[in-house]
Every structure is written in C-alpha cells, then in structure tokens.
Structure 1
C-alpha cells in the first residue's frame, strides 16, 4: 500500500512554545483530513500572530493535548534535543492469511513528521499559555523579538507546506471507513522515556510490530 510521507520543516522552539506550536500543526493536519461535517473553530495563537482552524471536536482536542503533555515531559528529561513527532493515518485490516487468527493489521497510508529542535536560550519566567513578560535587558528583549519573528515565519511556512501537501497528494487516500467520528483512524507517536533519539528507526519498529496503541 502506498504510504505518503511528509517531512515538515524543522522548527527551533523553546519549551514554553511547544504546546502552541504542536497544537497549531496537529490541528491543522487533522482539519484537512477530517471526514464529513465538522464545526470549524478559529483559534488565535497567543505567542504568535497566527490563526488556525480546529475541528471543534472535544475528544480530538483531548487526545492531542494528552500527547503534547507527554512530549513536554519527555523534553524535560532530554533538553536541547532534536526530535520528531509522527502523526499517522491508517486503515484497519483483518489478517485472514493466518488460520484461526483475529490479528488486526494497520496499513499506514500517510505519515506526517513534525521536526523540532527544543532549545533553551534564556531562563526567563514563562508559563504554558503566556509569552514571558520578564526581560532583563533591552538586548534580551530585542533578541526575543527576533526569535519570535523567526519562529512565526517558520511556522507559517510549515502551515503552507501542510496545505500544499494535502492539495497535491490525494490519490493515496483510502475509501471512507464505515465508522463514526470525524477522522480516519490515526495515532500520534512521540519519543518514549527510553529513547535518546527519535526518527525513522522508531517508525520502522512501529511498523514491524503492527500493534501500537490506538488513540482513536
């Protein structure tokens, strides 16, 4: 089965920016791969001058936030690392090749790799939702402004990359599944506590096992 892969541009972010950046990217992908009727919800980022669209589905919001929280916990233990998060869409097939087996196989048809370099530039007061208000000098404040502008520009590039991909890559999308919900079956894969690096090796292990945790 043809599995299309999109490697998104790497973003260098600080830890307090992870939540907003990942929500923006993950929700944008999910919105463009949504099934049927959705209740679009415009969301303005607090850290950047960017607006994105969510599907307006509570359970989806919860799943995304849970994975982001797990990723932030991983980052706490592995600072200043380049890492990836993978959002995969798949079909569910019953493996009838093996007698007396009810094994369910996942056939991946699309994978999105979100590439982040989590850096720690300054130890300023910050929170999950608000950009740090404390600056120690005019120089630091100016550097913050430059950093913010760079991230905002790069994030816009990633969003345009997503839109371009979904508009150009359509032939690989499988028939609509006979199931309720707003999304194709999907999973979000983050580094585990035992991983010091994360990339294609992890994805190969995931594909070989065929039984990662189902998130939808």
Structure 2
C-alpha cells in the first residue's frame, strides 16, 4: 500500500506561540481529510491575522490539545532539540490468521510531519525577551525586532497552510474507501518526537516495511 508523506516547512517560533500554531496546522489537515460529517467552525488566531477551519468535533479538539500539551512538555525537557509532530492516517486490516490469533494491523496511507524550531532567548538580554506577549517598555529596537519576527512567522505559517491545501488537492488516489466507522475523520494518530530521536526513526522504518516506501513530497 502506498503511503504519501508530506514534510511541512519548518517554522521558527517561540514557546508562547506553539499552541496556536500547532492547533491551526493540525485542525487544517484534519478538516481537509474529514469524512463530511462536520460542522465547520471558523477560528481567528489571536497572535496572527489568520483564520482557519475546525471540524467542530469536541473529541477531536480534545485529542489535539492533549498532543499539543505533550509536545510542549517535550520542548521544555529538550530545549536544544528541534521537535516535530507526525499526524498519520491509517486503515485497519485483518492480518492473516495464525495458530494463536487473528491480528489486526494498521496500514498507514498518509503522514504529515510538522517541524518546529522553538527559539530560546537568553535571559541576559531580557530587554529583547519575547517569552511573554506583554513586554514592559522594551525599547524601539526590540519592538522592531519582535514585529519583524512575528511578520516572518505569519508569512511562513501562511506558506504551510497553502502547502497543506496544495497537497490535499493533488494527492487523492492513495485515499482508501471511507470506513464504516463513526466519527468525523479517517482513523488517525498523532505522535510527538524530537526530529533527531533514533527511536522515532526506527518507528518510521518499521512503518515503511508495513506500508511500502513512502512517497516524499515537500
């Protein structure tokens, strides 16, 4: 089975921007791969001039927020590493029965890698620190720097959203038949890792063996 893989453009951002950025990207992907049983809900970002659409499903929102929490925990434990989230879609297939069991396996048909580089600012340069949305009299140069960086991140996030839309419009042949399952989405999982983790690489290698070598798209 063919598994399409999309590596999204890496985003450089700060700790307080993680939640909004990840929520925007994950919900956008899931909305575009929804099964049609959705009540679209427009969401305006607080930090950027961007509006995206959610599926309007409480359980999906809860799962996404839970995974974002795991991602933030990992960033705090490994601040020097670049971190990523992988959103995978799969279908369940009955594996050939053995003497002992009738196994069901996951066949992955699409994977999205969200790559984030969370910048850590030195406490020595507290005048230019952006850990908080509110900076008390940071000075003109710090304000200019912050404004420039925020504009650059907003432009990059726009690029990522267009990358998602371009991918979902071009890549459709690999999508499996709609499953007889309740819910707004195909079966999916969200995994969190540092991009350099060997365990994560081995996990990907095992999935390739199960699903066939993925087609890489950027």
Q: Same fold (TM over 0.5)?
A: yes
Answer yes or no: is the 8 Å Cα contact 1:13–1:118 preserved in 2: yes
Residue 184, structure 1, aligned to residue 186, structure 2? yes
Which is helix-richer, 1 or 2?
2
**Normalised TM-score (structure 1):** 0.87
The offset of 1:136, in angstroms, is 1.8
Count residues in correspondence.
203
Equivalence for 1:100? 100
Q: Structure 2 matches for 1:131-146, cutoff 5 A? A: 131-146=133-148
Per the alignment, residue 7 of structure 2 pairs with 7
Report the aligned-residue RMSD.
Answer: 2.0
- Any conservation in 2 of the 1:125–1:134 contact (CA below 8 Å)? no
Distance 1:134 1:184 in 2: 47
Matches for 1:6-155 after TM superposition, within 5 Å: 6-121=6-121, 122-124=128-130, 126=132, 131-155=133-157
Whether the 8 Å CA contact 1:14–1:118 is kept in 2: the answer is: yes
**Structure 2 unmatched ranges of 5 or more:** 122-127, 211-218
- Structure 1: 5+ residue runs without aligned partners? 211-216
**Residues 131-170 of structure 1: CA deviation (Å, up to 9, x unaligned):** 3344521111110000000000000000000000000000
Displacement after TM superposition at 1:103 (Å) = 1.9
The corresponding residue for 1:160 is 162
Q: Which residue of 1 aligns with 2:175?
A: 173
Aligned structure 1 segments of 4 or more residues deviating by more than 4 angstroms: none
